[in-house]
Amino acid sequence: MPITCYAQNFEDVILWRALKHVEHGFYIDIGAQDPVVDSVSLAFYERGWRGVHVEPSANYAEKLRSARSDEEVIQSAIALEAGEIAFFEIADTGMSTGDEEIAKQHQNNGFKVSRISVFAQPLSAILSLHADRDIHWMKIDVEGMEHQVIKSWLPSGARPWIVVVESTKPNSQEQNHETWEQELLDLGYDFVYFDGLNRFYLSISHSELKSQFDVGPNYFDWFAASTTSWLSRNINVEISALREQLADESKNKAAAQERLAEQERLRAALELRLAEEQMARSSLATQAENTRAALEARLGELEARLGGEERARQALESQLGSIYTSTSWRITEPIRILVRAARWLAR
C-alpha cells in the first residue's frame, strides 16, 4: 500500500524511503505547524510512528493536540536560553518567525504581523528528554532561526539518524545553510541530499542509509499526493467546480421535479374539473330531456283538450244553426222582439 505524501516538498517520501524498515519509529518535529497540511510527520503517524511536536504558535499547538492526542506537543520556540522571546506571528501561515528582520520583510510584502511573547528553550532541553532512545528523524523548520536551533543543540548527546533543515531564506530559493551547516557537520553528520528547499543530513553512525538519498522522489517510491498538497491544487479546484456543478444540477433536477409535480397536480385538478363539468352537463341534459318530455306530454294533453272543445263548439254551432233555421224560431221571432222592447222600456 503506498504512503500518502503530505509534506510540502516530498520530505516524507525521502525519509520513508530511508526508514520504512523501522517499525514504530520516533521523530521530533521542530516547527511542526499544522497536523495535516504540509505535515512531514503525518505519513509516519499513519504507519504507527509517534513523536514530539515543537510549535510556538498557540493556534497550531492546539490543532496538533486535538489531532494527535497520543503524541507530545511542546508549545515553545527554540532559543539559546530558556525564557520569553519576541515572536512575530502571521496567522494561518507557516511564516511566523522569531527573526524581526524577516518579519519586517513579510510586513512590507503585505502580510499582517502580530508581535507576541512566547516561551523559548534550547534544543538540548528537548533532546535530553529522549536521549535514551533512537530518534529516527528530526526536522527543523523555523523560518530563519535555524542557526539558533543548531547552536542550542549541545550539550545534548542525542543524535537523530537523519536531520532535515529548511535551508533557503523564507519565500526564496536563496540558500542560507552556510551560517549553520558546519556546526551540524561537527555534530557528526554528513550532507546527503538537497531537495531545493531542505538539506538532509545523515548521522555518521548510520552511513548505511546514504544510498537512499541518491535521487529525488520518483515513481518507484510508490506514494500518492494528499488532497492538501499543492500538487492536488488544480485537481481540488476541478473537484470543487464539479461539486458545484453537481449541486446546481441537483437543484435544477429538484426544481424540474417540482415543476413536473405541480403540472401533474394541475392536470389532475383539470381532469377532476372536466369530470365534474361533464357530470353537470349530463345532469342538465337529463333534466332538460325530462322537462321536454313533460312539456310534450302536457302539450299533447292541451291539444287533445282543445280538440274536444273545438268539437263541442262545432256541435253547439251546428245546434244553433239548426235552431236559427227552424220553423219555430221564425214563428216566435215577433214574441222575442216584444220581449226585448218591454225590457228596454222597463229600464
User: CATH number of the domain that 74 lies in?
Assistant: 3.40.50.150
The residue from 170, 198, 228 where one domain ends is 228
- 131: enclosing H helix or E strand: none
The sign of the dihedral angle between the CA atoms of 231, 198, 123, 161 is: positive
Shared-domain flag, residues 66 and 89: yes
Give the pLDDT of residue 172. Answer: 85
Shared-domain flag, residues 25 and 158: yes
Contacts of 145 (CB under 8 A, 6+ apart): 77, 78, 79, 97, 98, 99
Give the pLDDT of residue 303. Answer: 81
Shared-domain flag, residues 178 and 108: yes
Shared-domain flag, residues 82 and 215: yes
pTM over 0.85, yes/no: no
Shared-domain flag, residues 148 and 285: no
Shared-domain flag, residues 28 and 81: yes
User: Alpha carbon of 95 to those of 18, 73, 285: distances in Å?
Assistant: 29, 19, 91
Give the pLDDT of residue 18. Answer: 98
Phi-psi region of 24 (alpha: psi -120 to 50; beta: other; left: phi over 0): left
The residue ranges of the chain whose pLDDT is under 70 are 233-242, 329
Shared-domain flag, residues 17 and 102: yes
Q: Is the peptide bond before 155 cis (omega within 30 degrees of 0)?
A: yes
SS3 225: strand
334 in a structural domain? no
Shared-domain flag, residues 11 and 136: yes
Give the pLDDT of residue 235. Answer: 62
Shared-domain flag, residues 196 and 260: no
68 in a structural domain? yes
78 contacts 124 by C-beta, under 8 angstroms: no
Range of the structural domain that residue 301 is part of? 242-319
The percent helix, strand, coil of the chain (3-state, each to 5) is: 50, 20, 30
C-alpha cell at 240: 470543487
58 in a structural domain? yes
Give the pLDDT of residue 283. Answer: 80
Shared-domain flag, residues 159 and 290: no
- Of 217, 210, 190, which Cα lies nearest the Cα of 18? 210
Give the pLDDT of residue 236. Answer: 55
pLDDT tens digits for 49-72? Answer: 999 999 999 999 999 999 999 999
